[in-house]
Amino acid sequence: MNTQELLTWFETQKQQSDILIVPSEIFGFINTTNSKAIISHFHSHTFMQLPESEIAFFQWLQSIAPEVWDDLWKTDAHDEPYIVSISLLTDILQHNRGFPICDLMTTDNYYFTSEHFIKGESDDFIQAIENKILSESSLSLSQLLAWEIYTAPIDIWRFSYIHNVPLRDAKKAVHELVEDRILIHLRTSAELSAYMEL
C-alpha cells in the first residue's frame, strides 16, 4: 500500500470507530515517512490502539513492574488501556523501541537518550564499546545498555524486555554508568521533557 492508500484505509476506519485498531498486516506497510503523513493528516486528537507486539510488551511490564504499568495505564475512569494518540505512530514503529516510557509521575523514570551521556567522560567509554563490537568481543551489561542508548533512545524496561535481562540487573547497569560518570539519570518527567521530541 502506498501513502494515499494508507490514508484512505485510516479514513475508512475512522468513520467506523473513534478508536483505530490497526491490524499487523497494515502496520507492515507503515514506515517512518508515511507514518508522518498519517500523523499530519489526522492530528493528535485521533486515537489508536497499540499494535499486538506493544500490548504483549505492556502485559509483560504489568507482570514485572505493576507500579510502572499503573502509572501509565491505570485511571479512575476505567478507560481501556493501550489507547494512544496517533501522534505516537512513528515512535511505535521504531525498531525494537516502541512506545516510550518517559513520562512517569508516581515512580522514577529510566528513559535515556544519547544526550544523557556526560560529554568528555563518556567519549572513551563509547569508543571502547565500538572497538569491542568491531572485534566481535562480548560486552558487559552496562556496555550493552550504553550502546543501546547511544544507538537510539530507550527506557530500562524495553532494554530488559529486548535482551531478556532481569530488571534488577538492568537497573544495576544504570547505577554503574552513573557511578562511573558516564551517564546522568533524570528521574522525573519534568527533567526529561527537554530531551523528548513528542
Render pLDDT for 40-98 as a digit per residue (tens, 0 to 9).
999 888 999 999 989 999 999 999 999 999 999 987 555 688 999 999 998 888 666 88
27 shares its domain with 53: yes
55 shares its domain with 123: no
Domains held by the chain: number: 2
Bridge partners, residue 49, by sequence: 83
Range of the domain at 123: 111-195
Cα-Cα-Cα-Cα dihedral of 160, 164, 168, 169, to 10°?
A: -100
Render pLDDT for 109-145 as a digit per residue (tens, 0 to 9).
999 999 999 998 899 999 999 999 999 999 999 999 9
Alpha carbons 94 and 108: distance in angstroms, whole number: 23
Helix 156-163 with 141-151: angle, nearest 10 deg: 120
Cβ neighbours of 109 (radius 10 Å): 22
Alpha carbons within 13 A on the beta-carbon side of 153: 19
* Grid cell for residue 154: 530507550
Report pTM.
0.88
